[in-house]
Amino acid sequence: MFGTRRHATIAARAHCIEDLRQEARRYLPRVMFDFFDGGAEEEQTLSANRQAFKETYLRPRVLNNVERVNTEIDLLGLPARFPICIAPTGGVGYGRRGGDIAIAKAAARFGIPYTLSTSATASIEQVAEAAPGRLWFQAYILKDQAFLHKLIERARVAEYEALMITVDLPVGGKRERDLRNGFRAPFKLTPQVAWDGIQHPRWAAVVAMRGFPFTENLRGLDRAAPTAANAASAVGRNYDPTFDWDRLRQLRDLWPRKLVVKGVMCADDAQRLADMGCDAIIVSNHGGRQLDGAMATFRAFPEVLRGAGGRIPVLVDGGVRRGVDVLKACAAGARGVLIGRATLFGAMAAGQAGAERALEILTDELARSMRLCGVADVAHVTADLIGS
């Protein structure tokens, strides 16, 4: 009960996503905060994702009736209350026990899809049972194809409505914050990490009592490494750099429901994916965590949209921290956005209450921005809202 009240108090005093980020920084040791917050190498792409939205300005219309605004959209044939989806994020439980399910429950409460990562610290089945809602499953492409196919079958049996294939990760990026902090997989309690943890006693107490959680979907992937930390590292050792268009077609044939492809940055790739029969494309550079120097996603978005040719919806992932960013993306032609760090910061700061507060902030800002721009229906916003 005390923890619930504390979480509610922390969530209530946050007025923007940055407030939740700072609360997460206070709760987490540096090694953990930087794991979630950081990007690859010099973090140019991480910064560029945010900057692309900041440098895009709106041209409001006036004298429109905006007493009531409609934020609902059609997404993969079903209604979503807002043009927002939760992006897949791995290792959430390392920062906050139960964080995956907390974010999934928040998404269900707000009527938006939640995407479970292959490397989540809750299983496909646990999330389906604890947080029934619009569930998508994100699959990393593993060298062990039989194991991958079993994961996909488990998602089908658990009634996940969509499969998200991440195609931009043939090898992991070089995240220098993690290297400097001593964060490695398998995770080791070095003197540096131990000292960092001591200075964050609430987080350290949970780890001391319960240890680090497993990446539940990966149990059995690396039989020689049965520990939780080694299971987490198994994904990095088992990315399949041979994955190609033919293999993607096989997965398209294997999966009977909606197929979403994440990690697209070029028009030609978008056209081929539409030709193949994929159901949606996500413009993403993995949140700036892999290839530093990659173009900002909101800058790459118009080209990918042209490649899709209006045949399938295109969403944008990366850099969304404000509700007005969602409106900008929709004005540019996106069906919606994916958010990862925003709800991560919320969950790290205050569990489910924090994740819900992140969504409350973003959706309130979206509705407010729509009114201030003279937009009554987010589904009908057009490109003329964006200034030159």
Annotated active-site positions, please? 286
Residue whose entry in the numeric block shows the structure tokens 């159901």: 279
> Is residue 115 classed as helix, strand or coil in its secondary structure?
strand
Question: Exposure string (b/e) for 21-45, b if CB count within 10 Å is 16 or more?
Answer: bebbbebbbbbbbbbbbbbbbebbb
CA 263 – CA 195 distance, rounded (Å): 37
Question: What is the number of residues in the chain?
Answer: 388
Are the beta carbons of 74 and 279 closer than 8 angstroms? no
CA 108 – CA 131 distance, rounded (Å): 7
Query: What do you get for the CA distance between the two ends of the chain, in Å?
Result: 52
CA 319 – CA 340 distance, rounded (Å): 9
Are the beta carbons of 207 and 194 closer than 8 angstroms? no
Beta strands in the chain (DSSP E): 73-75, 78-80, 84-86, 114-116, 135-139, 162-166, 258-264, 280-283, 314-317, 336-339
CA 42 – CA 188 distance, rounded (Å): 25
